[in-house]
C-alpha cells in the first residue's frame, strides 16, 4: 500500500467507529484481526475478528449514539501506523452495565495499527480511562 492508501484506510477505520457503519468492517479489518487493549478491560471486551469489532462498535454506540473519533495525527512507518486522536460522545444509553448519565465525554486515545494485505491486522490501544471515568461520574478533570 502507498502512504496515501494507508492513511485513507486508517481515516476510514475511525469513520466507521464514528458513523456505526459495521457493514464496512471487512473493508478495513482482516478476518483474523487482534486487538491488544489496556490491562483491566478483560476478555468480555474482546474486539478480535470481525464479530469482535462489530460487537464493540455496537456496544459503544448504544451507550454513546453520537460517538465521534477525531484524528489529530497519523504517523506511518512501514507496516505500522501510530494515531493520536480523541473521541467524544454523550452517554444516552446503557454502557458497561451502567444506566445512561446524559453526560458528555471527551477521551484522549493513542493507537498503533499493523497493516498487512491492505487491512488492519493488529491494534495496540491506550486511552485515558481515568478521565473517561471521571467524566461519567460528573467529576472535574482539573
Question: What is the domain-level CATH number for residue 110?
Answer: 3.10.450.50
Question: Does residue 93 sit within a domain?
Answer: yes
pLDDT value for 38:
74
Residue ranges of E strands in 1-142: 29-36, 68-77, 80-90, 104-116, 119-127
The answer to the question of residue 37 being in a domain is yes
pLDDT of res. 39: 65
At 47, phi and psi to the nearest 5? -115, 20
Q: For residue 40, what pLDDT is reported?
A: 57
Which of the two residues, 95 and 26, has the higher pLDDT score? 26
- 108 φ/ψ angles, rounded to the nearest 5 degrees: -80, 140
- Pick from 90, 88, 95: nearest CA to 63: 95
In a domain, 142, yes or no: no
**CA–CA dist 48, 41 (Å, integer):** 13
Q: What is the pLDDT averaged over residues 29-55?
A: 82
**pLDDT mean over 35-50:** 73
**118: in domain:** yes
As given in the structure block, the three cell numbers for residue 116 are 498487512
Q: Tell me the angle at which helices 3-19 and 49-63 cross, rounded to the nearest 10 degrees.
A: 50
Within-domain flag for 100: yes
Return the ∠ at Cα 125 (arms to 119 and 128), rounded to 5°: 145
Range of the domain at 28: 3-137
Question: Is residue 103 pLDDT above 60, yes or no?
Answer: yes
| Confidence (pTM) | 0.92
How many domains are there within the chain? 1
Amino acid at each position: 500500500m502507498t502512504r496515501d492508501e494507508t492513511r485513507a484506510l486508517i481515516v476510514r477505520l475511525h469513520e466507521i467507529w464514528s458513523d456505526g457503519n459495521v457493514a464496512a468492517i471487512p473493508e478495513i479489518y482482516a478476518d483474523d484481526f487482534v486487538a491488544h487493549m489496556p490491562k483491566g478491560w478483560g476478555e468480555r471486551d474482546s474486539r478480535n475478528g470481525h464479530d469482535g469489532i462489530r460487537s464493540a462498535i455496537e456496544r459503544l454506540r448504544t451507550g454513546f449514539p453520537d460517538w465521534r473519533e477525531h484524528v489529530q495525527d497519523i504517523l506511518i512507518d512501514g507496516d505500522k501506523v501510530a494515531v493520536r486522536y480523541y473521541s467524544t460522545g454523550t452517554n444516552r444509553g446503557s454502557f458497561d452495565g451502567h444506566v445512561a448519565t446524559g453526560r458528555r465525554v471527551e477521551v484522549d486515545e493513542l493507537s498503533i495499527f499493523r497493516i498487512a494485505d491492505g487491512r488492519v491486522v493488529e491494534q495496540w490501544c491506550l486511552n485515558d480511562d481515568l478521565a473517561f471515568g471521571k467524566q461519567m461520574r460528573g467529576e472535574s478533570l482539573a
